[in-house]
């Protein structure tokens, strides 16, 4: 591709991040976790060749980004110092504390405050062992003053 084609191609083929997909050991348990703690809704469900698939999305955003759960995985808990995680912004520090309390059986990181751009956050582990962070004050959510 030459330089002229590159500029035009970027405009036409700019990728849009539309979904993440994960296999899960217990699709119902995992879907319930994300609906309960992350406020997501089941926006699509089907079975392909005997394998259940559920799409979850934030209310009203099912045409922007979905979280796809695919039955048939196995739990794969993250090691203690693995910082990989999914991040959800909340509207206040109090909301972070409430998630930590509501999800205390799943609590992985106690609520804590770190300098910008991190802010105030806690994390739960989903039924498959993935870390899910809930934050207030990060640049991608409410409360950022950076």
pLDDT given for residue 45 in this prediction: 98
Instruction: Band the pLDDT of 95: cuts 50, 70, 90.
Output: very high
Instruction: Band the pLDDT of 11: cuts 50, 70, 90.
Output: low
Tens of pLDDT along 41-85?
A: 999 999 999 999 999 999 999 999 999 999 998 888 888 889 999
Range with the lowest mean pLDDT among 15-19, 33-37, 73-77, 131-135?
A: 73-77
**Residue 109 is encoded by which pair of tokens?**
């990181």
Q: What is the pTM of this model?
A: 0.87
* CB atoms inside a 10 Å sphere around CB 134: 26
pLDDT given for residue 30 in this prediction: 97
Does pLDDT of 98 surpass 60?
A: yes
> Which residue in 102, 143, 86 sits closest to 120, CA to CA?
143
- Longest Cα pair distance anywhere in the chain, in angstroms? 56
Percent of the chain with pLDDT over 90: 79
Which whole number is the average pLDDT over 90-100?
A: 98
CA angle 113, 92, 112 (to 5 degrees): 15
Sign of CA dihedral 142, 118, 134, 93: negative
Which whole number is the average pLDDT over 110-125?
A: 96
pLDDT given for residue 84 in this prediction: 94
């Amino acid at each position: 591709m030459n330089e002229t084609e590159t500029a035009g191609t970027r405009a036409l083929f700019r990728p849009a991040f539309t979904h993440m997909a994960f296999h899960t050991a217990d699709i119902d348990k995992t879907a319930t976790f994300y609906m309960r703690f992350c406020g997501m809704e089941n926006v699509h469900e089907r079975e392909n060749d005997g394998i259940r698939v559920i799409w979850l999305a934030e209310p009203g955003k099912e045409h922007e980004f979905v979280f796809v759960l695919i039955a048939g995985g196995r739990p794969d808990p993250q090691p203690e110092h693995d910082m990989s995680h999914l991040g959800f912004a909340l509207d206040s520090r109090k909301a972070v504390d409430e998630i930590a309390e509501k999800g205390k059986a799943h609590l992985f990181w106690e609520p804590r405050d770190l300098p910008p751009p991190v802010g105030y956050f806690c994390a739960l582990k989903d039924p498959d062992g993935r870390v899910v962070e809930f934050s207030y004050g990060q640049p991608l959510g409410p409360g950022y003053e950076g």
